[in-house]
């Protein structure tokens, strides 16, 4: 998944188009498309990526999914949002 695809996944997940994604938006995007994921590890990753702790991920924070240790676990899952 490249940077463009990551931006596209962000746009798909950001259902209310406010420029931030919440854990609820991520979960709903994945579940709405029947994409299997581990809710517990997604929750853990979300908290780690939320560097300013405001409970939502900016596009910059979201780009952390592109970096290890998150990339191997989550990039394939997020890529399915674009399929």
Residue ranges in contact with Ca ion by CB under 5 A = 14, 16, 18, 20, 50, 52, 54, 61
The shares of helix, strand and coil residues in the chain, as percent rounded to the nearest 5, are 65, 0, 35
Q: What is the smallest separation between the CB atom of 59 and Ca ion, expressed in angstroms?
A: 10
Q: Which is nearer to Ca ion, 7 or 54 (CB)?
A: 54
* Cα distance between residue 69 and residue 71, in whole Å: 6
Closest approach, Cβ 6 to Ca ion, in A, equals 16
> Which residue number, 41 or 51, has a Cβ lying nearer to Ca ion?
51
Give the separation between CA 48 and CA 69, rounded to whole angstroms: 11
Task: Report, in Å, the least distance between residue 13 CB and Ca ion.
Answer: 8
């Amino acid at each position: 998944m490249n940077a463009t695809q990551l931006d596209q996944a962000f746009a798909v997940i950001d259902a209310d188009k406010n420029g931030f994604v919440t854990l609820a938006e991520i979960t709903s995007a994945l579940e709405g498309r029947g994409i299997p994921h581990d809710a517990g590890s997604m929750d853990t990753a979300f908290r780690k990526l939320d560097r300013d702790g405001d409970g939502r991920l900016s596009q910059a924070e979201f780009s952390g999914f592109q970096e290890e240790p998150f990339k191997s676990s989550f990039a394939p899952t997020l890529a399915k949002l674009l399929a």
